[in-house]
Amino acid sequence: MDVVRKRRALVVDDEQVIADTLAKILDLNGYEASAVYTGTAAVEDARSLQPDLIISDVIMPDMDGIQAAISIRSFLPDCKILLFSGQAATADLLENARAQGHEFEILGKPVHPSDLLAKLSG
């Protein structure tokens, strides 16, 4: 009998309440989710967890979410990465990433759980 493994998700936000809440929502919707609070931790944990999905804030103090996503894509090319941000500075960071050939989906912050889940199933 085959055991179907839950899809793994990693949530990244320097606001711990947001990261923990999104991870809980994902847990309740069929994911095995964990939360980290820095871009550096996201890259480290992605190496060991091998997540199917990463949801990351863009603006964080140590390493922004775009830098983390580019790094993670280099060793997990099939991982779905969603970025979210409530700050205008994100547009410039995304434009720079696009200029280097990196495309990422972006969600506005705050993200409503139903909008997030719709994005994941779509």
In sequence order, the β-bridge partners of residue 26 are: none
- In angstroms, rounded to a whole number, what is the distance separating the alpha carbons of residues 65 and 93? 10
At 19-74, the pLDDT tens digits run 999 999 999 999 999 999 999 999 999 999 999 999 999 989 899 999 999 999 99
pLDDT band, very low/low/confident/very high, at 122 (cuts 50, 70, 90): low
One DSSP character per residue, 12-77 reads E-SSHHHHHHHHHHHHTTTEEEEEESSHHHHHHHHHHH--SEEEEES--SSS-HHHHHHHHHHH-T
pLDDT score, position 109: 77
In sequence order, the β-bridge partners of residue 34 are: 10
Under 8 Å between Cβ of 88 and 58: no
pLDDT band, very low/low/confident/very high, at 98 (cuts 50, 70, 90): confident
Q: What is the mean pLDDT of the chain?
A: 89
The reported pTM is 0.85
pLDDT score, position 40: 97
